[in-house]
Amino acid sequence: MDFQFVGYKGGLAMSVIAFSIVFLVIGGLMLVMMLLKFVSSASGETSKPEVKLQPVAVGAPAQNLRAPADDGELAAVITAAISASMGAGVKVLSFSQTRSRIASSVWRMNARIENLEGFAD
């Protein structure tokens, strides 16, 4: 009994077969995309509509319009968003400010941003 796919020669043969199948499928998808591009360009207009650009007057820079008393409005918006996402049976009873859990070390904060360190202390 002769097994063709045994040993390193069998692994090499399976690798060649698998890579061939993958590249044939990728080539087929590429041909389909090229065909769709050809069909869509043949059926539609090839010229783009002309866009006229007009100069815009530069005004004063935008000002910070948020007043310090807007926290009540912000709380109302957050409450409405929570109620809408959770359903009708949810009531938000209170809001409280939390302190940041970011470590005081700049190096640890940078590592967390780059996902090099876990969030558990």
Write out pLDDT tens, residues 3-24.
Answer: 677 888 888 989 999 999 999 9
In a domain, 86, yes or no: yes
| Residue 33 pLDDT | 94
**Does pLDDT of 26 surpass 50?**
yes
In a domain, 109, yes or no: yes
Number of domains in the chain: 2
| Residue 100 pLDDT | 62
The structure tokens listed for 32 are: 């389909």
d(CA 39, CA 33): 10
The residue ranking higher by pLDDT, 3 or 107, is: 107
d(CA 6, CA 12): 10
40 in the same domain as 1: yes
The structure tokens listed for 72 are: 């009540």
Instruction: Please name the residue that has the structure tokens 């070390």.
Output: 105
Range of the domain at 36: 1-44
| Residue 2 pLDDT | 58
Instruction: Please name the residue that has the structure tokens 């359903």.
Output: 87
In a domain, 66, yes or no: no
Q: What pLDDT digit, counting tens, does each position of 45-102 carry? A: 556 667 777 776 666 665 655 555 566 777 778 888 888 888 777 776 776 766 666 5
In a domain, 105, yes or no: yes
| Residue 1 pLDDT | 44
Find the helix or strand (DSSP H, E) in which 23 lies. Answer: helix 7-43
In a domain, 83, yes or no: yes
